[in-house]
Every structure is written in structure tokens, then in C-alpha cells.
Amino acid sequence: MPSNSHAAGDHEHSKCGPTYCDHVHAAQDKLKIAVMLGILILLIEVAGGIFSNSLALLSDAGHMLTDVASLVVALLAVRICTNPPSKSMTYGYQRITILAALFNAVVLIGIAVFIGGEAYRRILHPQPVQGMVLFITATLGVVINLYIGLGMRGEAENINIKSAMLHVLGDAAASGGVIIAGLVIYFTKWYIVDPIISLLIALLVAVGAWRIIKETYVILMEGTPEKIDFEEVVETLRSIPGVIDIHDIHIWSLTSNRNAMSGHIVVDGNLTVKESQVIIHMIEDLLDNKYRIGHVSIQVEDINNPHINDLFCPYTK
């Protein structure tokens, strides 16, 4: 049987069908609203932080600035990623969302370091803060941030939007800490609470950013997606009737929630082309339905004339 190479481009729903396009437009609408609300709360927190002399509130405003930036980048990335593939960009532009997420995470790390440094200085030299202004401003921040973050829950599978959503929800949590600080300062005049809360905000920001960096690193390095068990996929493919052996298996993500796989399968050389195509379609359907691997490229080999593995494709049994 002649070797047959099959690329499952038609199996991967890369074109912008009605459902996909509706989903993209809905995400854009949510992001536009989120950007406008983010700018509003940013202005409120800056004014409140200056008026109350609160580092915690100004830190929260700095965090909100990165929120707005992340939302704007997410909006631009969502628009760009819908551009169709071209000869120079055969996979299209969807990975721009990963670069956007990485950019946001790196900026967050920088903000966290800055907030931490300022908090340390104020712990050594506490400054008076107006607790009630702190409380009122932070309460507005919590309400608006929760509205923005919870409104984007349906888009959380997109790592770019997920990173923006974590920005916003993290800011809501930080604002909650600022509310507590405002009440404590108002009733006790313990001004040192302000920089302590700022330091906690910095830690919160850094942890969330590091998680995003790790996730984007795996995608950019074309590593196996976190939710996919490589060994399980291999054994599942081996169990398909007609598949004698497999090798050169690679599983990676094009972008968030869009996984791909390539590999070689060895079949009986007496199979007809039609029979080998049936096996390929079985593999495609199984990978798509069970593992959400939508882009599948399979090379079929005759057991009597197998492909010789090289150093960079060593997986075999």
C-alpha cells in the first residue's frame, strides 16, 4: 500500500463559521464595556488615593491601570486573531493572544515589584491616611471590578481574556483588602496597615502573573497542553482497530483551547486507501471528542516499510 499523508485542515474548524464569529463578537462587546468601566474606576482610585494619601489605594490604582491595559490588549488581540491565515502566516494570527497574555503578566510582575518597594518604605515610615475616603473608593472598586470580571467568565478558556479577567478579579480582591485597611485606619489610626495591605496586593499580583507566565511558556514552547495526558493519548491511538504501531507523536497548542497533534501510524500494507482513510477519520473524531485536539495531521506507513525515527522524533515502542 502506498504511503498516505493526511492533514486534517478541514477537520479543524479554522474558518469563521457563524457560531465562532458570534462568540468572537460577544467577547469583543464584553471587553469594550470592561475597558470603559476600568477607565472609570482607575480615575476614581487615583483621585481617592491622592486625596487620602493612601499607598494601598494608589497601588490598587496602579493595578487597575494594568487591568485597563490588559483589557485593551485583549480586545486588540481578539480582533487580530480573527484574521484569516495567509501564505506567510499559515496558522493565522491566533497566537497573538498568547503574546498579549505574556506581555500582561510581565507588566504585572513589574507593578508588583514597584508596589512591594513602596510598601516596604512606608512600613519603615508610616504616613497618615484618611480611612473613610479609602473605604468608599475601594468599595466602588470592588463593585465595578466584580462586575467586569464575572461578566467575562464565559470567555475564560481563552488565555488572553483569562489573563485580563484575572487582572480584574485580582484587583477586586485587592480592593477588598483596601476596604479592610480603610476601616481599621478610620477606627484605630493604625496607618501601618496601609503599606501592609499594599504588600499583600503586590504578592497577589505576582502569584497571578507567574501562573500566566507558566501557561504561556508551555504554549510558546509547543509543550503538551496541561490538561492532556500524553501517555493516555498514545495508548488510546494504539487501541484503535487497524493501528499496528505509532511514533513521532507531537501534541501542542496553537493557542488557548486550540490543540493540535501530528504523528505517524503504522498499518497493514494490504489495506486499501479507503480503509486507511477510515482509520484516519476514526483518529480525528476520537481526538477531537475526547481530548479537544482539533487539528490533526497523520502520516500512514506500511508495516513492511516503516519510517525511520530520527533524534528529534524519538517516541516509539
Q: What is the pLDDT of residues 255-286, one digit of tens each?
A: 776 889 999 988 887 778 888 888 999 999 98
CATH label of the domain that carries residue 272 = 3.30.70.1350
For strand 4-7 and strand 293-302, is the pairing parallel, antiparallel, or unpaired? antiparallel
* Identity at 221, one-letter amino acid code: M
Distances in Å between the Cα of 35 and the Cα atoms of 134, 208, 270, 282 are: 23, 20, 61, 44
Does residue 201 lie in a domain region?
yes
For the record, the C-alpha cell of 135 comes out as: 473605604
Predicted local confidence at residue 250, as pLDDT: 92
Residues 200 and 65 in one domain: yes
In this prediction, what percent of the chain has a pLDDT beyond 90?
Answer: 3
Looking at residue 125, which CATH number applies to its domain? 1.20.1510.10
Name the band, by pLDDT with cuts 50, 70 and 90, for residue 10. Answer: very low
Whether residue 81 contacts residue 68, with contact meaning beta carbons closer than 8 Å, is answered with: no
Domain that holds residue 255: 224-302
3-state secondary structure 48-81: HHHHHCCHHHHHHHHHHHHHHHHHHHHHHHHHHH
Give residue-wise pLDDT tens across range 283-315. 999 898 888 888 898 888 877 766 655 434 444
- Is 174 found in the same domain as 89? yes
What percent of the chain clears pLDDT 70, i.e. is strictly above it?
82
Long-range interactions of 236-240: CB distance < 8 A, separation 24+: 236/286, 236/290, 237/263, 237/265, 237/283, 237/286, 240/279, 240/282, 240/283, 240/286
Do both 243 and 120 map to the same domain? no
pLDDT tens, position by position, 228-238: 899 999 998 88
Rounded mean pLDDT of the chain?
78
Cell of 305: 516499510
Q: Is residue 262 part of a domain?
A: yes
